[in-house]
A and B are shown apart, each in its own frame.
Chain A
């Protein structure tokens, strides 16, 4: 019964909430009416947008020493998670069989282990910094903590089910993924889709005013 629910209706429901929620959020940003900028352009908005999208991948020299741990852990976590999500053999197989109809070469097992180490260590360090740094703690919301913990649970249940020998462990992982999918559109996890448009928007705004930021 539980197996049927998790593999069937709950999976489709969570997928629908995720897709519709993400599209809704993105559409609400795209179609949001802002004030028309009547000022005379002093620079190229497009160039500013592109520059900002790429320049923000590295921290400003002035603040880099203060956030070195955050930057290194951030890259470890995000790159590790990206590799796990799209190149872990069970995920590639799942995407091929259940969603896309085609697959690609998965990463070898040793690479999977390394990627998961990076992702786990990065996430633990990032969450600890959020908790231990007074400024980070002050600006963190419940949403930030829930998102971090939920992501950790998804990663952990996935790794515990690595042997693929127990249905219960696989179901536990899939159930945690479904919770994450439902939570995703209404949380800070939306930065997965909004971080590039957000950078581009800010960059365009600065670029049009001729600000070198």
Chain B
């Protein structure tokens, strides 16, 4: 496996999410996590296949969410005690046994996002919200920097990089706040203005870290380059 190509893909991904996120004609439907009438693609195909196998759907499996698919979804929802709105949101998706994220397109964005959320939760759960976004941003700044590993997992698991990795706290389940903070950082928010390090002045033991130029302080963390 050519790691660089993954790296480049990741870099491209950041560039997209951060600098460009996306190029779509204005007025594009935005509520994309849910599938509804008009949706197309492999996920719709999966929904149709499942409904057909279970006898809810009689149309063709064509990947187009048309009126027949809506009717089948409503039928499925009524049978399963869900609101029969004909839209596959998270609850219906769960009952169908599909994950709206498993498009088969790319697993890395979700799994890396979750790993990042775990690190943020373990490192900064007691910090103000903006301080949590800042910790996520520092990790992403390292991924983008040529002086650090080029993947989120590479940066997080680099030896000595984060205390939460050495003491095992990284394995705690992150809360919603940490996940939101990660989403913000991945969408371009960086309260640190490009910092690559942070430390807690009350507990930091490394002499070296004190020599870095501090850009700002948020909560109990000093952020530096």
Task: Report if A and B associate in a common complex.
Answer: no
B residues whose Cβ falls under 8 Å from a Cβ of A: none
Q: Which A positions have Cβ atoms within 8 angstroms of B?
A: none
